[in-house]
Amino acid sequence: MSPNDFVCAAEDEAQAVVRSAASAWHGSRGSERLDIPLSVMSAVNLIRPLGCAPGEFGNRTTRLSTYSAIGWLAEVWARFLRLRPDLVPAAYPVAAWLLGQERRAAEADLGGAHAILCRVVPKVVQWTAISGGVGELDLLGELWQAPAVGQPLEARAQFCTPRDVAAVGSALLGEVPKFGSTVRGTCVGTGGLFLSLTWRMRAGEADVASVTRIGSGVDELVITPAVVNAHRWGLGGNVILSAVDVLPGCPDHHGIVHREHAITVARTVQATATARNLLTAGATP
């Protein structure tokens, strides 16, 4: 079996996992919200088990109660957003139901989130523990394509470009992006074009993180898979993603402004925390 056959086999398994997750969500009799199943699948993609085998980690996670599982998901997202403040503007909408008050979930939705987690964790953590190849499965792209998610076929096609099609698009761009160059995806979907270009850069031993990637989509939920994939696939810190209509304005400006603001806020919070620790050092209650 060739490496490519191995990846294709894993993609078939990914489709089965996604179908199982979608079945769990709809079987919970939750709402028609898409942010919750997308949030759960994204969180699992962000996990790389440390200190225990993937199988053991998966078994531990599936034994969590519903509320413990929701708390765990919230902590995964909180850690990610602290780690990548540059991606907060694009990532927060899908994590808001866990971290904020404005998009709180109903009881049935919490049960559905727990059901998805139990279905997908054992298998997905085995993939996320692998670097490259199988470890770079576009599981979120498979989720958008799954009929059970509820998206009409014509809408699903907007969000995920199949891997072979992305490879053709990458080849049509000609030479591999040079150091310091910029790659734009005005309909970024789940980031498949970025990944295809990254593989070509790796093959040529180019610095993947040296390229700026700017992507945009028409909806805030559409951007989330690209956010998670950009981090999982190791695309570096020069990734700018935003939900914006590309026709009337400049998507680059919109994404850059929001990204810089988020980074500034994060640095201010860190500086404030450092100052508070310094000022209260040695103080008595």
pLDDT score, position 86: 86
Q: Which residues contact 202 (CB under 8 A, 6 or more apart)?
A: 208
- Termini Cα distance of the chain: 66
pLDDT score, position 229: 86
pLDDT score, position 161: 64
Sign of CA dihedral 3, 197, 261, 98: negative
10-residue averages of pLDDT along the chain (285 residues): 52 81 82 86 85 84 93 93 88 88 85 92 80 64 62 47 68 76 80 81 83 82 83 85 67 68 73 78 57
* 214 closest CA partner among 170, 160, 171, 259: 259
pLDDT score, position 157: 43
Q: What is the pTM of this model?
A: 0.78
pLDDT score, position 192: 79
Quick check: 200 and 174 in contact, CB under 8 A? no
Q: Which residues contact 111 (CB under 8 A, 6 or more apart)?
A: 28, 30, 66
pLDDT score, position 190: 79
